[in-house]
């Protein structure tokens, strides 16, 4: 039905497809992983099979019984069966590598899985002596023997086993890989079936070649897994790979590196063509482990995986990494010093899910911890953070939140206003302070609710008329940049304040210098809209960030709050005094009101009087106190004035 010319064309097509796949694989330089090498081996097998098919297409299955052509025919058939017998077992092992179960192939039980391959391969290799797989009979040409059917049965076994392995890890395989592997299984199945029922319809190798093209495009091509700016695997790849390891109970040592000063280094040495990890750290990281064991889930975090059955000295590796980061790095004309924390954790002993791993990655690590490597009991801070998250979640239902007030005074020590500060009293953890729970609230998405709670409590208090009666000019409410970026933020603020019929000029929103430095363009529009409504704005903690001064003062702020560190520094050194004096002089020249935080002594007040500031805040007057105590405080201060 199908002549030799047709089969020759099919074989040439298969050969061309395989050669293109092989060339593309080397161009992309995807040759270092075990799965890459197996893929290349399978493509080479198909190239041999295609050449064998071409010889059959040229000379047919009955080229005579002697001479050069006969010898070529015999060699080509021998090469075909010896190599093709290994194709399905190799594909099975390829799937095992993709699914992170290849390490299990080392056990005695797993080795039994390859017995069908060993048996059929021996049949193929010894066929010139036994003729159990195929034979060449007088007058009949090429003839299949019972051994070939054993080869097909063995291939079917590995075909099914591959499906079983994929089924077990189906949930942790990307959609693109799923589609490619299903395409391969379907196409190869059709090709084998057609060639079995129509012996002269030799399309099996072409079907396999085209199927492997799909695998090349979707599996071997890892564009969706690689961060090209970094040159390493990305967040999605880490999630899938760790999920596969957990699914198949693959033990791992995981080293996480947190670069605390990434942004600072990037500002100093970086430009649009520079990537710190790729340009400075890449060679060092690849000297520790293979490229495919390195992940960059965030720009300032690096994750390295070490299989327990391969690496037994993960502790020492982590220590060496920490020691190297204690030293400086030379990049172009710069000497770079990284501030890095290193965590070592084991999977599945300490990390039992991908969510736990990413929780650990995203969890802020103290930049000033004394230990070079955090491991074992050192990771208790993560448990503490989880406990804080739980406390935040139940805080509103258990009435754990409370607003404290710290009064502010005019320079003449007359009552001016107050700053509203959130506090938390959890039934299980006790008293929690903003420095601990606010960063957690920002990350877990509860900061909006907390900010709204503070504003509502302040408005409820102001609506009683007590602050106005005691001479309070306004109350400061801290504003998070996350809240500012919320849709309809201005409308929400107006709705809360107007609900309590509070004069908008009585609310003074505070933003931090760091926030303004990073997002002042976004904030500028929000601030302008709220100021048009009548609200006031202050810059909090001025002097602690790295902001652009002109950018800060373009925000049309009413008050600049100088951080306590500048005041305390002025008492300690002449340089500190120069910094404080010049800071105050500059703000005065820009015609902004000045409030100084951290006032604790009468001497500090006298110094600030000379320097010409407007308002004071600190423990000299009062620490932050609950509302009832604050009412007593301002009533007493008001009575003293009268």
Specify the DSSP class assigned to residue 626: E
What pairing do the DSSP bridges indicate for beta strands 474-478 and 329-331? unpaired
Residue 618 is given by DSSP the state: S
Q: Which two tokens stand for residue 582?
A: 């010049």
Please give the pLDDT value at position 466. 95
Res 516: pLDDT: 45
| Both structure tokens of 488 | 């309809």
Give the pLDDT score at 107.
62
Q: What is the dihedral of CA 101, 102, 104, 106, to 10 degrees?
A: 180
pLDDT at residue 1, rounded to an integer: 45
* 403 beta partners: 422
437-458 in b/e form (b: 16+ CB < 10 A) is bbebbbbeebbbebbebbbebb
> What three-state secondary structure class fits 317?
helix
Q: Which residues of the chain are modeled with pLDDT < 50?
A: 1, 516-517
What pTM does this model have?
0.64
Q: Domains of the chain, with CATH numbers?
A: 4-220 (1.20.1070.10), 226-386 (3.30.70.270), 396-635 (3.20.20.450)
Look up residue 26 and give its two tokens: 């080397």
CB-CB contact of 388 with 436 (8 Å): yes
């Amino acid at each position: 039905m199908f002549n030799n010319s047709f089969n020759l064309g099919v074989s040439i097509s298969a050969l061309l497809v395989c050669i293109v796949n092989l060339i593309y694989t080397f161009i992309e330089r995807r040759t270092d992983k075990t799965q890459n090498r197996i893929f290349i081996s399978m493509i080479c097998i198909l190239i041999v099979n295609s050449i064998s098919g071409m010889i059959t297409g040229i000379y047919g299955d009955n080229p005579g019984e002697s001479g050069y052509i006969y010898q070529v025919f015999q060699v080509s058939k021998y090469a075909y069966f010896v190599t093709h017998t290994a194709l399905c077992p190799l594909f099975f092992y390829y799937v095992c590598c993709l699914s992170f179960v290849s390490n299990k192939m080392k056990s005695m039980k797993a080795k039994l899985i390859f017995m069908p391959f060993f048996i059929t391969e021996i049949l193929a290799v010894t066929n010139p002596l036994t003729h159990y797989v195929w034979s060449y009979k007088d007058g009949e040409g090429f003839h299949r023997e019972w051994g070939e059917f054993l080869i097909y049965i063995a291939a079917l076994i590995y075909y099914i086993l591959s499906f079983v392995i994929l089924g077990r890890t189906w949930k942790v395989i990307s959609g693109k890989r799923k589609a490619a592997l299903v395409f391969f299984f379907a196409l190869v199945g059709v090709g084998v079936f057609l060639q079995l029922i129509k012996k002269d319809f030799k399309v099996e190798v072409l079907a396999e070649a085209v199927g492997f093209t799909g695998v090349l495009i979707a599996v071997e091509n890892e564009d969706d897994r690689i961060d090209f700016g970094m040159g390493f695997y990305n967040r999605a790849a880490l999630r899938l790979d760790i999920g596969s390891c957990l699914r198949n109970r693959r033990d791992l040592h995981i080293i996480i590196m947190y670069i605390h000063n990434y942004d600072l280094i990037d500002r100093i040495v970086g430009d649009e063509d520079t990537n710190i990890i790729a340009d400075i750290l890449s060679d060092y990281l690849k000297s520790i482990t293979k490229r495919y064991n390195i992940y960059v889930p965030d720009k300032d975090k690096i994750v390295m995986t070490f299989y327990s059955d391969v690496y037994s000295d993960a502790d020492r590796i982590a220590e060496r990494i920490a020691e190297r980061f204690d030293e400086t790095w030379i990049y172009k004309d710069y000497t770079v010093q990284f501030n890095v924390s290193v965590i070592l954790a084991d999977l599945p002993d300490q990390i039992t899910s991908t969510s736990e791993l990413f929780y650990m990655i995203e969890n802020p690590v103290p930049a000033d911890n004394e230990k070079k490597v955090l491991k074992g009991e050192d990771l208790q801070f993560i448990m503490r953070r989880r406990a804080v998250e739980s406390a935040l979640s139940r805080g509103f239902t258990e009435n754990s939140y409370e607003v404290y007030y710290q009064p502010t005074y005019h320079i003449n020590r007359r009552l001016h206003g107050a700053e509203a500060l959130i506090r938390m009293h959890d039934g299980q953890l006790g008293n929690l302070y903003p420095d601990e729970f606010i960063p957690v609230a920002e990350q877990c998405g509860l900061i909006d609710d907390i900010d709204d709670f503070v504003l509502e409590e302040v408005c409820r208090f102001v609506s009683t008329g007590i602050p106005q009666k005691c001479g309070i000019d306004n109350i400061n409410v801290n504003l998070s940049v996350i809240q500012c970026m919320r849709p309809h933020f201005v409308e929400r603020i107006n709705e809360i304040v107007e609900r309590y019929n509070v004069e908008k000029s009585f609310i003074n929103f505070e933003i931090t210098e760091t926030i303004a430095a990073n997002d002042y363009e976004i904030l500028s529009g929000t601030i302008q809209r709220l100021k048009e409504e009548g609200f006031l704005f202050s810059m909090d903690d001025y002097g602690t960030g790295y902001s652009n001064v002109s950018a800060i003062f373009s925000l049309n702020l009413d008050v600049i709050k100088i951080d306590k560190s500048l005041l305390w520094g002025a008492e300690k050194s002449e340089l500190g005094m120069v910094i404080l004096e010049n800071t105050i002089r500059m703000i005065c020249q820009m015609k902004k009101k000045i409030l100084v935080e951290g006032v604790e002594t009468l001497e500090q007040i006298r110094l600030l009087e000379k320097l010409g500031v407007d308002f004071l805040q600190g423990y000299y007057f009062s620490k932050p106190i609950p509302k009832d105590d604050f009412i007593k405080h301002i009533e007493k201060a008001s009575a003293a004035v009268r």
